[in-house]
Amino acid sequence: MAIKSTQNHYGTVAICIHWMSALLIIVLLASGIRADGVEDAAAKVPFLRVHVALGVTILLLTLARIVWWWRADTKPVSIPMPKLQDRLSRAVHVLFYVVILGMASSGVGMLILSGAGSIIYGGVAENLPDFWDYAPRTPHAIGAKFMIGLLVLHVGAAIYHQFFVKDGLLNRMWF
C-alpha cells in the first residue's frame, strides 16, 4: 500500500491518522464525560490526566493531518453521490476540524485560567478547581455534544455506504 493517496484509495499516512484519531476521540469523549460525572477531586484526576494527554495528542494528529493534506498529499476523487450528500459530507469533515481545534483551544484555556495543569500532573487533588467557573468550559461542553453528533453522522454515513449503497466508500479508508 502506498504512503500517499491515489485517485481511488487513501494512503497509509491518511488512514493511520484517521483511525488513530477516531479511536482516541472516542476515548477522549468517554474520559471527559466520566471526569465530569465524578464529584471527588482525587477520583477525577486520573480521568483528567488521560483526557488532557489525549486532547493534546488529538490536536497534534489534527495539525499533522492538515499539514499532510496541505503540503504532501491529495485526497482521492469523490465517489459519485447526490449533491446534498456530497455537501453534507464535506461540511461534516470541515466541522470535525473546527470542533477539534475549538475544543483543544477551550481545553487549553481552561487549564491555563484555572491553573489545573499543575494539580492534574502532581499537585494536591483537593485543590482541583470547578471548571464550570471558567468561561472556556461552556464551549468545551457544547463542542463535546457537537462532536458526538458529528461522529454519529459520520459513522451512520459510513454504514449507509457500506451496507446499503455498497459503493466501496469505507474500503477506501482501510488498509
Domain ranges of the chain: 12-173
Q: Which residue, chain included where needed, has cell 496541505?
A: 70
User: What is the model's pTM?
Assistant: 0.94
| pLDDT tens sequence across 30-51 | 999 999 999 999 999 999 999 9
Pick the CATH number of 12-173 from 1.25.40, 1.20.950, 2.40.50, 1.10.3470: 1.20.950
> Residue 122's pLDDT band (boundaries 50, 70, 90)?
confident
> Residue 124's pLDDT band (boundaries 50, 70, 90)?
confident
Mean pLDDT, rounded, for 156-161: 96
